[in-house]
């Protein structure tokens, strides 16, 4: 078993890019068992796959019709969504100047055709291991230490990325803001250690509702959580919020300081919009926060929702 498979049971995603299918088939045979392999026969197709599947590593042919490997690399490195994907150039050119140029563009390595299977496997293994380690270290800085869900920094990154994607595809993006009702009273009555346990249980109940890989739950601050839901209309986001509310109430955590049934409950505000160049993503968060305020004013332990569609400027 290769080392990168020991790091995680999830196979790493490898993208092979070459306009000669025979070259792709050779590489596919080398890695089909150890990796989840994706294949592209043009630069345009490679760019699209990088955005949709986020490969852990790209083996990129330099000489291709249309967009060549160098231009594909430039575009990937210029896009924040794909900037961190490592690229190994594969080319028939073996001169030092070409290798230097490729590394200057941002490639992590350089393989010369005809390929040597042992060398290719060793280099791919090395860079997949480095990528996994980098992802692990990065995740430590993006997780909330108490609850284990994403932190505020990760939420902001996910919101910006989801906004760009939904704006490009003219899809709806939804945000849910969540607040634990009367949490200060909970801490005052049960103590901060029990308060921490309560937040951990609530975070688990909320995250259990999140099913899609691109959805994100984060601890926004204190007893407040936030959720980013790409490609989600308001009606679907409200259903998700209602399931979150039910999940928390199903915990039946005693809360004698609450004015709502003496158990821990949450209030939720939901907002959605078709991402638009004239609106900043923070406006969506602010609308969800307004809906959360409405839920609290209406008695807490409920979901309130709204859309920003009406605020879009006319074309």
Supply angle C-alpha 230, 156, 7, rounded to 5. 80
Distance CA 47, CA 59 (A): 13
**Residue 47 near residue 168, CB atoms below 8 Å:** no
Active site residue 96: no
Q: In angstroms, what CA-CA distances link 280 with 153, 250, 273, 286, 311? A: 17, 36, 11, 10, 12
d(CA 252, CA 41): 55
Out of 99, 223, 242, 254, the active site residue is 223
Whether residue 106 contacts residue 73, with contact meaning beta carbons closer than 8 Å, is answered with yes
Phi, psi of 112 (to 5 degrees): -100, 135
If you ran DSSP here, which 8-state letter would residue 42 be given? Answer: S
For 233, the 3-state DSSP assignment is coil
List of residues 6+ apart from 290 with CB closer than 8 A:
269, 271, 306
Alpha helices in 8-94 (DSSP H): 21-31, 43-53, 69-78
User: Strand, helix or coil at 301?
Assistant: coil
d(CA 212, CA 285): 20
Residue among 210, 188, 211, 209 at smallest CA distance from 198: 188
Cα–Cα dist 169/118, whole Å = 41
Would you say 222 and 284 are in contact if contact means Cβ atoms under 8 Å apart?
A: no
Q: Which residues are catalytic?
A: 223
């Amino acid at each position: 078993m290769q080392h990168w498979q020991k790091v995680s049971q999830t196979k790493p995603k490898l993208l092979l890019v070459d306009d000669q299918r025979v070259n792709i088939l050779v590489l596919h045979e080398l890695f089909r068992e150890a990796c989840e392999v994706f294949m592209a026969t043009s630069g345009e197709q490679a760019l699209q796959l990088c955005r949709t599947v986020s490969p852990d590593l790209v083996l990129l042919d330099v000489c291709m019709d249309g967009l060549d490997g160098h231009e594909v690399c430039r575009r990937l490195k210029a896009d924040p969504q794909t900037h961190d994907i490592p690229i190994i150039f594969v080319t028939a050119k073996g001169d030092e100047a070409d290798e230097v140029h490729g590394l200057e563009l941002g490639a992590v390595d350089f393989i010369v055709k005809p390929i040597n299977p042992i060398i290719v496997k060793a280099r791919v293994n090395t860079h997949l291991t480095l990528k996994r380690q980098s992802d692990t270290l990065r995740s430590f800085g993006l997780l909330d230490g108490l609850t284990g869900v994403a932190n505020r920094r990760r939420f902001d990154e996910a919101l910006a990325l989801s906004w760009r994607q939904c704006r490009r595809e003219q899809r709806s993006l939804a945000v849910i803001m969540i607040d634990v009702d009367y949490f200060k009273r909970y801490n005052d009555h049960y103590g901060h250690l029990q308060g921490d346990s309560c937040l951990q249980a609530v975070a688990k109940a909320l995250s259990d509702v999140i099913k899609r890989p691109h959805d994100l739950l984060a601890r926004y601050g204190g007893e407040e959580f936030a959720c980013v839901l790409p490609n989600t209309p308001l009606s679907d986001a409200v259903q998700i919020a209602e399931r979150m509310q039910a999940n928390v109430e199903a915990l039946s955590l005693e809360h004698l300081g609450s004015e709502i049934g003496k158990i821990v409950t949450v209030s939720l505000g939901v907002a959605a919009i078709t991402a638009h160049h004239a609106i900043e993503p923070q406006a969506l968060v602010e609308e969800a926060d307004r809906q959360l305020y409405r839920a609290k004013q209406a008695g807490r332990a409920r979901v309130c929702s709204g859309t920003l569609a009406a605020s879009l400027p006319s074309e």
